[in-house]
Amino acid sequence: MPNPKRRHSKSRSRKRRTHDALTPAGYSACPNCGAPRQSHRVCPDCGQYDGRQVVAIKKKSAE
């Protein structure tokens, strides 16, 4: 298997890695309760998706 004859410089390695950065997930407001949620996902606060109840959410107890 071939091996590199010379070491890659820092700038050459870093140029290659410029596109490896992660982008943060996009959030939008839930149309039912207004809580932030990811697009095309069930709302974690109210359990609705596309205008209908999909997941039953337990009420949070006040402590």
Measured in residues, the chain has a length of: 63
Is the model's pTM score more than 0.85?
Answer: no
d(CA 28, CA 19): 25
Output the pLDDT for position 9. Answer: 95
Domain range annotation of the chain:
26-58
Q: What is the mean pLDDT of each run of 10 residues along the chain (63 residues)?
A: 92 94 93 93 92 86 62
Output the pLDDT for position 63. Answer: 58
Output the pLDDT for position 19. Answer: 93
Q: Record the tokens describing residue 52, joined without a space.
A: 């209908």
